[in-house]
């Protein structure tokens, strides 16, 4: 007799020595057991810090012991590494069984290992038969005049089958709701999974109602194949009371770049440090601001750590190890300076959170790193807005969503509890409203659109699995990503050999300013450098850049900038 999911969950809890299991997660596992055979899509909501990753661990243990296959997609590499460590700690799994696949990490090529942790970008490419291992070679054979492939098709069917024969977990899935392209891909994946009787688990703490409505409306023909799990705080009275008992203030601040804004933020830290709030998390919306602030405070406090996306893989791994060390000793003093890289799912906590304004669900995720642990009771949070940022973007975010978030919080921040979805009627606490109302209020403004024509186009790929030219044509048409509205571009500076990805729009600014000097590409005997003649090359849109990179076998572009293991990559010639 095969074991139930509940049996695997109990094993996982024993491995972690969980003597006090979460009632809601126990309920989820029991209901998963009862519906696993006749449902395909399972959507699980639970607050930040509640332990949703134990669901992933349970499915990993099931795949390991039953000889199944599981692919776990995570939005950020720090979270991926954290989840990998947790699974390895829970189950004694051989390296041949579990692996990772993302840029510069190849321990599970083609997502082949029975348990693989990967990024959504890699999952999407492999799903369409364009695994990163083959992509360069396949697209070099693509002919623009005919839209066909001449040469190798790579391991096309092998890549596709590795995904379709796996159970899938997509963690922090709310991040796919912000852009039309990523939302369209997600629904394509779900439709494909349902058609092929595949199991997909979606998890998030902050899923806007509008996002859920889009899923329901688009997949209405398959409503009987979808199982929803919405968190009810009253299912877990102990957790609810712990969250309600947390005491913290929220201070809203206005800053101007005309002033020495870093001095103002540093003064907040010093003020709160003196009253005992010495585990500090400061989150910026741009890499430039994070670097600037870190450079100002790194000698002022104990254990100051900078985390953002523009470090080499080796330096990222070293920083992750430092994070683990700081987390292990929860009374340790530290100042962590970061960007979005630290906001979703990372198991680190603070009793002083200082954050730039961001859209509602992003802000709630950031508060998930604040007073995260049960024993933490008191803290202080600062939310600031830069008054001199104009236009339809607030730094990297939609201006309309940020303004709506700020106005909502300003109107009732004394009553707002950013740790739980809702406060039950009659609960005795100082903060009387949860974050669900905030998120839904703000995201009612979002045009959550699905491109049905593109969705159909992607699904038609699977009607002819002998022709790899179809997904390659879509890959170029979409600017090199099934997920992103614009691609990430690999660059490097003098003194480092590892490429680092930067935003497409920043690359375009560098290109226009003449800061892109050379490229590194594959030659007959290894990597070679080549001068760029900007006057003869048109690289002003995503499709042209992606074609240029893959057709010429480019590994990276060499740009004007500086790199250090402390600060990461700093570019010159572009506004960040």
pLDDT tens digits, residue range 19-59? Answer: 678 999 999 999 999 999 999 999 999 998 898 889 999 99
CA distance to 443, 444, 483, per residue, from 448 (Å) = 9, 9, 15
Q: How sure is the predictor about 573, in pLDDT bands with cuts at 50, 70 and 90? A: low
| CA distance linking residue 198 with residue 28, whole number of Å | 19
Checking if the pLDDT of 109 tops 90, the result is yes
pLDDT for the residue 424: 77
CB atoms within 10 A of CB 222: 16
In the chain, the percentage of residues whose pLDDT exceeds 90 is 55
Q: How sure is the predictor about 432, in pLDDT bands with cuts at 50, 70 and 90? A: confident
Q: How sure is the predictor about 330, in pLDDT bands with cuts at 50, 70 and 90? A: low
* Per-residue pLDDT tens digits for 138-156: 888 888 778 788 776 778 8
Hey, where are the domains in the chain? 5-235, 247-418, 486-571
Contact 75, 85 (CB under 8 A): no
More reliable by pLDDT, 363 or 446: 363
CB atoms within 10 A of CB 408: 17
Average pLDDT over all residues of the chain:
89
Dihedral angle computed from the Cα positions of residues 418, 420, 421 and 423, in that order, rounded to the nearest 10 degrees: -100
Domain 5-235 fold: Rossmann fold (3.40.50)
pLDDT for the residue 3: 86
| CA distance linking residue 138 with residue 152, whole number of Å | 6
CATH node for 247-418: 3.40.50.300
Token pair of 413, please?
């921040």
Contact 249, 381 (CB under 8 A): yes
> Are 5-235 and 247-418 in the same CATH fold?
yes
Token pair of 537, please?
């090359």
- Rounded to an integer, the average pLDDT of 381-391 is 92
| CA distance linking residue 403 with residue 400, whole number of Å | 5
* Per-residue pLDDT tens digits for 116-141: 999 999 999 999 999 999 888 888 88
- 464 burial (CB, 10 Å; 0-12 / 13-18 / 19+) is exposed
pLDDT for the residue 44: 97
pLDDT for the residue 363: 94
pLDDT for the residue 575: 59
pLDDT for the residue 427: 64
E strand or H helix that includes residue 203: strand 200-204
Highest averaged pLDDT of the listed ranges 95-109, 296-310, 465-479: 296-310
pLDDT for the residue 374: 87
More reliable by pLDDT, 158 or 2: 158
> What does the angle CA 413 – CA 247 – CA 285 come to, to the nearest 5 degrees?
55
Q: How sure is the predictor about 357, in pLDDT bands with cuts at 50, 70 and 90? A: very high
> What does the angle CA 313 – CA 315 – CA 316 come to, to the nearest 5 degrees?
60
Lowest mean pLDDT among 38-52, 87-101, 466-480, 548-562: 87-101
Dihedral angle computed from the Cα positions of residues 392, 396, 399 and 402, in that order, rounded to the nearest 10 degrees: -170
249 forms bridges with which residues in the sheet? 380
**Backbone φ, ψ for residue 516 (5° rounding):** -100, 105
Determine the length of the chain: 576
pLDDT for the residue 77: 79
| CA distance linking residue 233 with residue 110, whole number of Å | 40
Contact 226, 212 (CB under 8 A): no
Checking if the pLDDT of 533 tops 80, the result is no
CA distance to 33, 252, 366, 490, per residue, from 248 (Å) = 39, 13, 15, 42
- Rounded to an integer, the average pLDDT of 181-207 is 95
CB atoms within 10 A of CB 321: 11
* Per-residue pLDDT tens digits for 464-508: 777 788 898 999 889 889 998 888 899 999 888 889 999 888 999
pLDDT for the residue 429: 64
| CA distance linking residue 340 with residue 515, whole number of Å | 26
The answer to whether the predicted template modeling score (pTM) of the entire model surpasses 0.85 is yes
DSSP 350: B
pLDDT for the residue 434: 87
Token pair of 239, please?
């957790």
Q: Maximum CA pair distance of the chain?
A: 73
């Amino acid at each position: 007799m095969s074991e139930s999911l509940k049996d695997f969950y109990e094993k996982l809890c024993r491995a972690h020595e969980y003597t006090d299991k979460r009632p809601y997660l126990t309920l989820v596992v029991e209901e998963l057991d009862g519906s696993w055979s006749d449902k395909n899509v399972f959507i699980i909501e639970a607050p930040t810090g509640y332990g949703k990753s134990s669901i992933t661990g349970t499915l990993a243990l099931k795949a390991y012991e039953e000889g199944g296959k599981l692919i776990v997609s995570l939005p950020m590499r720090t979270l991926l590494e954290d989840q990998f460590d947790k699974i390895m700690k829970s189950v004694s799994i051989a390296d041949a069984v579990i692996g990772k696949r993302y840029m510069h990490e190849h321990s599970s090529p083609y997502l082949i290992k029975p348990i693989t942790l990967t990024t959504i970008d890699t999952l999407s490419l492999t799903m369409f038969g364009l695994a990163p291992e083959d992509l360069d070679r396949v697209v070099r054979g693509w002919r623009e005049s005919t839209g066909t492939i001449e040469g190798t098709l790579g391991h096309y069917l092998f890549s596709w089958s590795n995904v379709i024969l796996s159970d899938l977990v997509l963690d922090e899935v709310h991040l796919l709701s912000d852009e039309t392209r990523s939302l369209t891909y997600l629904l394509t994946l779900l439709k494909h999974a349902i058609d092929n009787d595949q199991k997909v688990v979606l998890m998030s703490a902050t899923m806007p109602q509008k996002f859920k409505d889009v899923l329901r409306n688009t997949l209405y023909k398959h409503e009987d194949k979808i199982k929803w799990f919405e968190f009810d705080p009253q299912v877990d009275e102990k957790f609810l009371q712990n969250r309600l008992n947390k005491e913290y203030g929220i201070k809203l601040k206005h800053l101007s770049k005309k002033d020495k804004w870093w001095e103002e933020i540093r003064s907040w830290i010093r003020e709160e440090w003196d009253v005992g709030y010495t585990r500090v998390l400061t989150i910026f919306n741009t890499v430039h601001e994070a670097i600037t602030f870190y450079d100002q405070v790194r000698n002022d406090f104990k254990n100051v750590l900078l985390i953002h996306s523009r470090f080499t893989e080796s330096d990222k791994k070293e920083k992750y190890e430092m994070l683990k060390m700081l987390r292990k000793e929860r009374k340790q003093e530290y100042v962590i300076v970061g960007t979005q890289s630290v906001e979703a799912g990372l198991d680190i906590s603070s009793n002083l959170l200082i954050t730039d304004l961001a859209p509602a669900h992003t802000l709630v995720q950031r508060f998930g790193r604040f007073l995260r642990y049960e024993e933490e009771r008191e803290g202080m949070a600062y939310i600031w807005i830069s008054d001199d940022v104009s236009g339809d973007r607030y730094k990297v975010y939609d201006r309309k969503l940020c303004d709506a978030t700020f106005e909502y919080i300003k109107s009732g921040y004394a009553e707002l509890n950013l740790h739980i979805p809702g406060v039950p009627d009659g609960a005795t606490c100082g903060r009387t409203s949860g974050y669900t109302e905030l998120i839904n209020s703000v995201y009612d403004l979002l045009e959550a659109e699905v491109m049905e024509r593109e969705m159909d186009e992607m699904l038609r790929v699977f009607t002819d699995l002998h022709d790899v030219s179809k997904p390659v044509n879509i890959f170029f048409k979409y600017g090199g990503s099934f997920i992103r509205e614009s691609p990430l571009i690999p660059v490097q500076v003098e003194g480092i050999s590892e490429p680092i990805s930067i935003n497409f729009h920043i690359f375009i600014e560098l290109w226009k300013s003449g800061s892109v000097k050379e490229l590194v590409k594959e030659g007959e005997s290894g990597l070679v450098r080549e001068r760029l003649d900007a006057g003869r090359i048109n690289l002003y849109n995503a499709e042209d850049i992606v074609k240029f990179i893959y057709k010429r076998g480019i590994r990276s572009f060499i740009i004007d900038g500086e790199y250090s293991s402390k600060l990461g990559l700093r570019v010159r010639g572009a506004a960040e």
